[in-house]
Structure 1
Amino acid sequence: MPDTPRLATSFRDVEAWIFDLDNTLYPPETDLFSQIDVKIGAFLQRALNLDAVAARVVQKDYYRRYGTTLRGLMIEHGVAPEAFLDYVHDIDHTPVLPHPELAAALTALPGRRYIMTNGSRRHAEAVSARLGITGLFDDIFDIADAEHLPKPQAPAYDRFWRRHGIEPKRAAMFEDLPRNLLVPHEHGMRTVLVVPRAAAAALREEWEDEGRDAPHVDHVTDDIARFLDAVIRAIAPG
């Protein structure tokens, strides 16, 4: 955990706190995203008439090149985003457990709080309900709000900042993918990378962790609630 003076310097002027959803607000070891991953593969098999192996190759190629598999499907095949999102987020959310420590930390943060996700609002609301953090955010900015242009592409952030009147230099971004923190850092945001613990790290592809030690990552934690609690104590008056 970073020392208190460094946390105070980084976060004392933050007025807007922005959180990614999947594998950030809930821990990767929950393995919720594996359900989505399977459904994305099944959607590809049907939509593109592919076998499971070929669908997997396309899925991961689009995810890496376009930011989401959906974006690749829209650009290269004209797939309607609503049908995709409705299908892949129709999952069992019960593996996500209530997290009272996270709820308490979010409540104590000064200023505004947002979820910014490449997923759907419905999925974000379901996860929030399971975590026990419903109502703690000023808004959920989902992929439809971004006009289906995902992070890490710069226009997605621009649309988010404009909609909510956010000054990036007075904001902080929490993400599980280093590449999604590059644009925020370039605009002056404080950036926090939320990494998986050892048990869940093996579930990630190697490229997803590229940039973990790059200059655009200001802080790294494997426990977002504990990190937020440390920030709150560091910036508390007196």
Structure 2
Amino acid sequence: MVQVPDISRFAHVTDWVFDLDNTLYPHHTNLFSQVDARMTAYVSELLALSREKARELQKTLYREYGTTLNGLMNLYGIDPDDFLMKVHDIDYSWLKPDPVLGAAIHQLPGRRFIFTNGDRTHAERAARQLGILDHFDDIFDIVAADLTPKPAPAPYEKFTSLHSIIGTNAVMFEDLARNLAVPKKMGMTTVLVVPNNFEPVFSEIWESDPDEEDDVDYVTDDLAGFLTRIVTASR
């Protein structure tokens, strides 16, 4: 499941693109569970639903609209700024600094980006807590994407156009295979980041991507180690 990178596949890369949640920080930190719980609470309060019913609807929106936010905007016309502020009001101390990851990202040749369905403030707080924020050239968030989430093609097209990224010269790291389909079509090398000691049952069934296997070039449960191998071989 976890693969050693073929260094020749990365020698030409000039742009390194990283998802944030469960990618730049590991799944086992469970940071996103706080965001998930706050989204459930938001839906519950908005629609006067029990927690159980709110969570059921939240997951339905996620499946059908790509993000809970997108679904709530389309169906209920909510204020996205209010939603993003409330669901990202979390405790970032759960994240521990990762100097090995930071060193590897810092040494990658070319530009480095965070591309997230979350907002910039959340990305900055999480990356700062990890000790890696200063190693990135820019953060492309859900607001920059006109509130259209991955895996829709539009945010990828806007992101690559904004930064003049040529797909064949880029690599994207993601924890959801469905979010690698468009980058793969653009010519990017794709890397799926899975939890350490990955088991297929780690996620709920609605998060699995059995139809997206062909869009994944590499799989790793150790992002820092994967990048370190690339950096070391390129010296």
Using structure 2 for the length normalisation, give the TM-score: 0.95
How far 1:198 moved relative to its partner? 3.9
- Specify the alignment match of 1:113 in structure 2: 112
Pair 1:51 & 2:13 matched? no
1:81–1:203 CA distance, 2 compared to 1 (3 A): farther
**Counterparts of 2:70 and 2:199 in 1: how far apart (Å)?**
26
- Give matches, 1:4-19, under 5 Å: 7-19=6-18
| Counterpart residue identity of residue 204, structure 2 | E
1:144–1:98 CA distance, 2 compared to 1 (3 A): same
1:178 and 1:208 in contact (8 A); partners too: no
How far 1:213 moved relative to its partner? 6.9
Gaps of 5+ in 1: none
How far 1:201 moved relative to its partner? 6.6
| Counterpart residue identity of residue 105, structure 2 | L
Question: Bigger shift: 27-36 or 57-66?
Answer: 57-66
1:101–1:198 CA distance, 2 compared to 1 (3 A): same
**Counterparts of 2:186 and 2:217 in 1: how far apart (Å)?**
13
Pair 1:165 & 2:164 matched? yes
Per-residue CA shift, 1:71-97, capped at 9, x if unaligned? Answer: 000111111110000000000000100
Per-residue CA shift, 1:98-147, capped at 9, x if unaligned? Answer: 00000000011000000000001111111011100121100000000000
Find the residue that maps to 1:98 and give its secondary structure: coil
Pair 1:143 & 2:154 matched? no
- Specify the alignment match of 1:74 in structure 2: 73
How many pairs does the alignment contain? 234
Pair 1:26 & 2:54 matched? no
How far 1:49 moved relative to its partner? 1.7
RMSD between aligned alpha carbons? Answer: 1.6
| Counterpart residue identity of residue 131, structure 1 | L
- Specify the alignment match of 1:122 in structure 2: 121
**Counterparts of 1:190 and 1:199 in 2: how far apart (Å)?**
22
**Counterparts of 2:79 and 2:99 in 1: how far apart (Å)?**
37
**Counterparts of 1:61 and 1:182 in 2: how far apart (Å)?**
21
1:183–1:46 CA distance, 2 compared to 1 (3 A): same
How far 1:202 moved relative to its partner? 5.2
| Counterpart residue identity of residue 29, structure 2 | T
**Counterparts of 2:156 and 2:48 in 1: how far apart (Å)?**
34
| Counterpart residue identity of residue 59, structure 2 | K
Using structure 1 for the length normalisation, give the TM-score: 0.94
**Counterparts of 2:63 and 2:228 in 1: how far apart (Å)?**
33
How far 1:203 moved relative to its partner? 5.1
Find the residue that maps to 2:6 and give its secondary structure: helix
Pair 1:194 & 2:205 matched? no
**Counterparts of 1:80 and 1:211 in 2: how far apart (Å)?**
34
1:179 and 1:211 in contact (8 A); partners too: no
**Counterparts of 2:105 and 2:17 in 1: how far apart (Å)?**
11
1:94 and 1:130 in contact (8 A); partners too: yes
How far 1:29 moved relative to its partner? 0.2
**Counterparts of 1:106 and 1:33 in 2: how far apart (Å)?**
22
1:39 and 1:87 in contact (8 A); partners too: yes
**Counterparts of 1:95 and 1:201 in 2: how far apart (Å)?**
25
1:61–1:96 CA distance, 2 compared to 1 (3 A): same
**Counterparts of 2:202 and 2:182 in 1: how far apart (Å)?**
26
| Counterpart residue identity of residue 182, structure 1 | A
- Specify the alignment match of 1:218 in structure 2: 217
**Counterparts of 1:204 and 1:183 in 2: how far apart (Å)?**
22
**Counterparts of 2:89 and 2:24 in 1: how far apart (Å)?**
19
- Specify the alignment match of 2:151 in structure 1: 152
1:177–1:87 CA distance, 2 compared to 1 (3 A): same
